A and B are shown apart, each in its own frame.
Chain A
Amino acid sequence: MLPSPAPRRGRTAALLLATALSVSACGGGGTTGEAAAGGAAGEFTLWDPYPQFDETSEWTKLVEECGTQAGVTLERQGFDTSDLTNKALLAAQQGGAPNILVVDNPVVSTLADAGVLTTAEEFGGDTSAIAENLLAAGEVDGDAYGVPIGANTLALYYNEAVLDAAGVDPASVTDWASLTAALEKVKAAGKKGITFSAIGTEEGSFQFLPWFWGAGADLQELDSPEGLAALSLWKDWLDKGYAPNSVLNNTQTTSWQEFETGEYAFAENGTWQLGNVKESGIDWGVMPIPARDGGPAPAPTGGEFVSVPVQEDTSTYEAAGKIVDCLTSGENSLTTTTTLSYVAPTEEVQAKQVEADPDLEVWVEAVQAAKGRTSDNLGTKYPRISEPMWGAFQKALSGAADPAAALAEAQDAAAAATS
């Protein structure tokens, strides 16, 4: 039965009304967004991925103080790391981006590519003292899109008691061969070798990179002999029982819990576990991850960049630049990095950190050897390479494919996705 004409007209009217209302709702949202984002002079917002800090924390106090010094009221909001990227993208889409955005380093090039961020040159940020290897993660075509606030990276924690019992001297572990030999002895002594995270997400790629780069491999060529050597090292450890099968499903947190049982000789984990290891009661030590033929392997850098999102009112950049400098330079950098348990981005402050806490020395060394995932001008190509890469080590370690075939397949997928 055909609907009578009158209801049809009514339907159109209802639809029009709905459209009108939703449009006006959007308009409203936009206006409030702009107001919150510092359209009004003197009120600035800062977004960061540190929801754990409340108003009474050192970090919040520093943020507010830096705002005052730049002559504005600076209000900070903490978000969950994984939430922040999407929030920032949406805010930029609606024209309501914050004045200052503290964001995870591999995301910087993505946001820069989207035209969300201004360059350090535009907002007048001073990057001269910042270590080049840290700055590179946020560089696209030679422009720096923000200033690193601090860095963390991966190293090998070890359990001295387990190594002692197996007759292994930690100092003897200098390259892959001596590490594997140590694992063999540990296993023979009835303990467990090494734990890490090879989960099928970015976290797994993050943990694989020190071995991948340590073999001398290049992200643009996943199936090179060097890449194969890195994957074969992991595969060999799993096959021989030096590493548990659960690494395939381990996040860095669950991997750390395995190490905290006291059964494991080694754990690949980050600077952020330093507080935990001191409380764990384990007789611990830490060493840089060895490269295949010795020396520290380049591990990927973690940590955030302070950046200045694009605003309609470009006159806000000057004050924003002052705030960035305030948060990242000199004395304040020491406070910031200590609060966030990061290694500072400048050599000067790194030296002060080691002076205050000698345990940080290995970490400073590791950060100096580290490399940003989006460095080498890979930028937005990195995520397209990382995804097939984690697919490859998942398939190889679980036995679904052999390492060479898995890497070749991953290289094809990465090449197709980045070309």
Chain B
Amino acid sequence: MTTPMMTEHAVEGGAGRAPAPPPAGRVRRPRSGQWTAWAFLAPVALYLVAFYAYPLARNADLSLRDYTVRSFVQGGAEFTGLDNYRAVVQDATFGTALLNTLLFTGVSLLFQFVLGLALAVFFFQNFRLSTTLRALFLVPWLLPLIVSSSTWAWMLNSDSGVVNHALSLVGVEPVNWLTSPQWALVSVIIANIWIGIPFNLVVLYSGLQSIPGEVYEAASLDGAGAWQRFRFITFPLLRPVSAITLLLGLVYTLKVFDIIWIMTRGGPGDASTTLATWSYRESFGSLLPQFGPGAAISNLLIVMALLCGLLYIRSAGRSTES
């Protein structure tokens, strides 16, 4: 839900940067023309209202009311202002969930990006079989998340998992990957990094292709080594692509739910609970749904993603101006 919003904002931001002044002396169009224009706009406006504006408004409304199952069905939920937000922030789970969300997102992004970039640069050298190998690296992306997460859960099983079996062969004590408070978050992060590398690889690889070859040629004439070529050409010229990769990755990672839910259900206790899984647990995870707090948590997530998006737009705007 957040991604389209971001792009919407990006578009607005883009338009806001350089508003084209109306040509001087142009006569205002007749009314019927205006109506035709709006008729053409209507489908997309309707679409935006029905699928983005309305659900967002409804979610905001849910989070501001004291919804019980009864008032959900019969209407008349009491307006309670920010009570749900207050309850969420004061909840014992909030601190853990927020910290876990930041760790999960930060560490995932860092490793996905670094590994994705390294692989992109590696495959850009176009050695034999590089296309085949690159295709293989896309496999995690092609698998349905439920398949890859279940496979990870199965591999990391404390008693019968292949990872602990491998560890035992080299004489390492078994690790309770998914069931110990110390390792559960690490395990889901590892799985998420694995799933996210292909996306970074593909986008950064296509970014590399857009860097003109002459620049490298000129650099090698000046005697630049491999590291210098990367440091002073590839990395700076890849910056716009890197920025959008990281932003998309961030929005995507903030709301990751399925991997964690399938692997640990956010457990043990709250050890791997993030804001996304907590929001789900509140709204749908027990016999008695709590729509209000669930909506409040998901709104906090949306705001976090929105803030990062605005930061990106500002920095992108600044870099084009300079």
Name A residues whose Cβ lies closer than 8 Å to a Cβ of B.
1, 6-7, 10, 13-15, 17-19, 21-22, 82, 85-86, 89, 92-93, 106-107, 110-111, 113-116, 199-202, 244-246, 248-249, 258, 261, 380, 382-384, 386-387, 391, 394-395, 397-401, 409, 413
Q: Which residues of A contact B266 (CB under 8 A)?
A: 200
Q: How far is the CA of A87 from the CA of B278 in the complex (A)?
A: 22
Q: Which residue, of B50, B265, B271, has the highest number of chain A Cβ atoms within 10 A?
A: B265
10 contacts between A and B (CB under 8 A): A1-B19, A13-B38, A92-B73, A93-B73, A110-B69, A115-B70, A115-B73, A244-B158, A245-B180, A391-B270
User: Is B192 engaged at the interface, CB distance under 8 Å to the other chain?
Assistant: no
Q: Which residues of A contact B286 (CB under 8 A)?
A: 202, 383, 386-387
Contact A200 B42 (CB under 8 A): no
Q: Which residues of B contact A6 (CB under 8 A)?
A: 28, 34
Q: Which residues of B contact A397 (CB under 8 A)?
A: 179, 268
User: Interface of chain A, helix or strand or loop or mixed?
Assistant: helix
Q: In angstroms, how far is the closest chain B Cβ from the Cβ of A266?
A: 15
Q: How far is the CA of A262 from the CA of B68 in the complex (A)?
A: 46
Q: Which of B42, B49, B69 contacts A380 (CB 8 A)?
A: B69
Q: In angstroms, how far is the closest chain B Cβ from the Cβ of A349?
A: 28
Contact B74 A199 (CB under 8 A): no
Contact A413 B285 (CB under 8 A): no
Closest Cβ neighbor of A18 among chain B residues: B49
Q: Which of B72, B267, B271 contacts A93 (CB 8 A)?
A: B72
Contact A116 B34 (CB under 8 A): no
Q: Which residues of B contact A82 (CB under 8 A)?
A: 284
Q: Which of B50, B68, B160, B176 contacts A18 (CB 8 A)?
A: B50
Q: Which residues of B contact A113 (CB under 8 A)?
A: 68-70
Contact B181 A245 (CB under 8 A): no
User: Is B226 engaged at the interface, CB distance under 8 Å to the other chain?
Assistant: no
User: Is B218 engaged at the interface, CB distance under 8 Å to the other chain?
Assistant: no
Interface string of B271-311 (1 = CB under 8 A from A): 10000000000001111110000000000000000000000
Q: Which residues of B contact A93 (CB under 8 A)?
A: 72-73
Assess A399 versus B180: contact at CB under 8 Å? Given A22-B49, A246-B159, A394-B269.
yes
Q: Which of B45, B70, B268 contacts A200 (CB 8 A)?
A: B268
Q: Which residues of B contact A245 (CB under 8 A)?
A: 158-159, 176, 179-180
Contact A114 B49 (CB under 8 A): no
Assess A249 versus B264: contact at CB under 8 Å? Given A18-B45, A398-B271.
yes
Closest Cβ neighbor of A107 among chain B residues: B287
Q: Which residues of B contact A114 (CB under 8 A)?
A: 68-70, 72-74
Q: Which residues of B contact A201 (CB under 8 A)?
A: 265, 285
Q: How far is the CA of A364 from the CA of B68 in the complex (A)?
A: 37
User: Is B215 engaged at the interface, CB distance under 8 Å to the other chain?
Assistant: no
Q: Which residue, of A7, A21, A248, has the highest number of chain B Cβ atoms within 10 A?
A: A248
Q: Which residues of B contact A85 (CB under 8 A)?
A: 287
Contact B268 A89 (CB under 8 A): no
Assess A21 versus B46: contact at CB under 8 Å? Given A114-B72, A114-B73, A245-B158.
yes
Q: In angstroms, how far is the closest chain A Cβ from the Cβ of B274?
A: 14
Interface string of B82-116 (1 = CB under 8 A from A): 00000000001000000000000000000000000
Q: Which of B70, B73, B74, B268 contacts A398 (CB 8 A)?
A: B268
Q: How far is the CA of A382 from the CA of B286 in the complex (A)?
A: 10
Q: How far is the CA of A409 from the CA of B284 in the complex (A)?
A: 23
Q: How far is the CA of A106 from the CA of B42 in the complex (A)?
A: 46
Closest Cβ neighbor of B269 among chain A residues: A395
Q: How far is the CA of A86 from the CA of B271 in the complex (A)?
A: 28
User: Is B41 engaged at the interface, CB distance under 8 Å to the other chain?
Assistant: yes
Q: Which of A15, A89, A386 contacts B69 (CB 8 A)?
A: A89
Q: Which of chain B's residues 49-91 have a Cβ closer than 8 Å to chain A?
A: 49-50, 54, 68-70, 72-74
Q: In angstroms, how far is the closest chain B Cβ from the Cβ of A105?
A: 10
Q: Which residues of B contact A413 (CB under 8 A)?
A: 92
User: Is B153 engaged at the interface, CB distance under 8 Å to the other chain?
Assistant: yes
Contact B160 A14 (CB under 8 A): no
Assess A384 versus B269: contact at CB under 8 Å? Given A22-B50, A114-B69, A398-B181.
no
Nearest 5 A/B pairs, CB to CB? A398-B268, A383-B288, A200-B267, A248-B179, A395-B269
Contact B288 A380 (CB under 8 A): yes
Interface string of B173-194 (1 = CB under 8 A from A): 0001011110000000000000
Contact A199 B267 (CB under 8 A): yes
Contact B41 A14 (CB under 8 A): yes
Q: How far is the CA of A318 from the CA of B255 in the complex (A)?
A: 48
Contact B73 A391 (CB under 8 A): no
Q: In angstroms, how far is the closest chain B Cβ from the Cβ of A256?
A: 14
Assess A244 versus B159: contact at CB under 8 Å? Given A400-B268, A400-B271.
yes
User: Is B253 engaged at the interface, CB distance under 8 Å to the other chain?
Assistant: no
Contact A382 B287 (CB under 8 A): yes
Contact B38 A14 (CB under 8 A): yes
Q: Which of B38, B265, B270, B287 contacts A10 (CB 8 A)?
A: B38
Q: Which of B19, B28, B50, B178 contacts A249 (CB 8 A)?
A: B178
User: Is B157 engaged at the interface, CB distance under 8 Å to the other chain?
Assistant: yes
Q: Which residues of A contact B41 (CB under 8 A)?
A: 14
Q: How far is the CA of A201 from the CA of B287 in the complex (A)?
A: 10
Assess A115 versus B74: contact at CB under 8 Å? Given A89-B69, A246-B158, A400-B271.
yes
Q: In angstroms, how far is the closest chain A Cβ from the Cβ of B296?
A: 16
Q: Which residues of B contact A391 (CB under 8 A)?
A: 269-270
User: Is B170 engaged at the interface, CB distance under 8 Å to the other chain?
Assistant: no
Interface string of B246-275 (1 = CB under 8 A from A): 000000000000000000111111110000
Q: Which residues of B contact A7 (CB under 8 A)?
A: 34
Q: Which residues of B contact A258 (CB under 8 A)?
A: 159-160
Q: Which of chain B's residues 13-52 have a Cβ closer than 8 Å to chain A?
A: 19, 28, 34-35, 37-38, 41-42, 45-46, 49-50
Q: How far is the CA of A409 from the CA of B46 in the complex (A)?
A: 49
Q: In angstroms, how far is the closest chain A Cβ from the Cβ of B206?
A: 36
Closest Cβ neighbor of B19 among chain A residues: A1
Q: How far is the CA of A10 from the CA of B70 in the complex (A)?
A: 40
Q: How far is the CA of A386 from the CA of B285 in the complex (A)?
A: 11
With A10-B35, A14-B41, A249-B264 known, 12 other A-B pairs at CB within 8 A are: A10-B37, A17-B42, A93-B72, A111-B69, A114-B68, A114-B70, A114-B74, A200-B265, A200-B266, A246-B157, A395-B268, A400-B269
